[in-house]
Amino acid sequence: MISAYHELAARRWRVAIILTIAVIIIYFGFIALIAYRKEMMGSLITPGLSVGILLGALVIVSSWLLTWYYVWWANSRYDERLAELKRQGE
């Protein structure tokens, strides 16, 4: 019984860590570009829109998408399996 819980906990942990690493790469990638590639971040895509501003907005949008994905996964897959385990436990 405990091992099934362990297995589910490990699965959630794997998803959580992968998504956390994704956020870290996205944000620190953005910060590293700001710190070390200033000219590139300042170059204009169209008048008024620099690469930096576009990427900044995309950091926010990608945070939304990652939280949306996790909540979708957890509310369906994870909670289903958890409910199954709880039924078996009773």
Which residue ranges make up the site for another protein (CB under 8 A)?
Answer: 2, 5-6, 8-9, 12-13, 15-17, 19-20, 23-24, 26-28, 30-32, 34-36, 38-39, 41-42, 44, 46-50, 52-53, 56-57, 59-61, 63-64, 66-68, 70-71, 74-75, 79, 82, 85-86
Burial class (CB within 10 angstroms; exposed 0-12, middle 13-18, buried 19+) of 42? exposed
Q: 49 pairs with which residues across the strands?
A: 46
Residue 57 carries which side chain, given as an amino acid letter? Answer: A
Q: Work out how close the CB of 52 gets to another protein at its nearest, in angstroms, rounded to a whole number.
A: 5
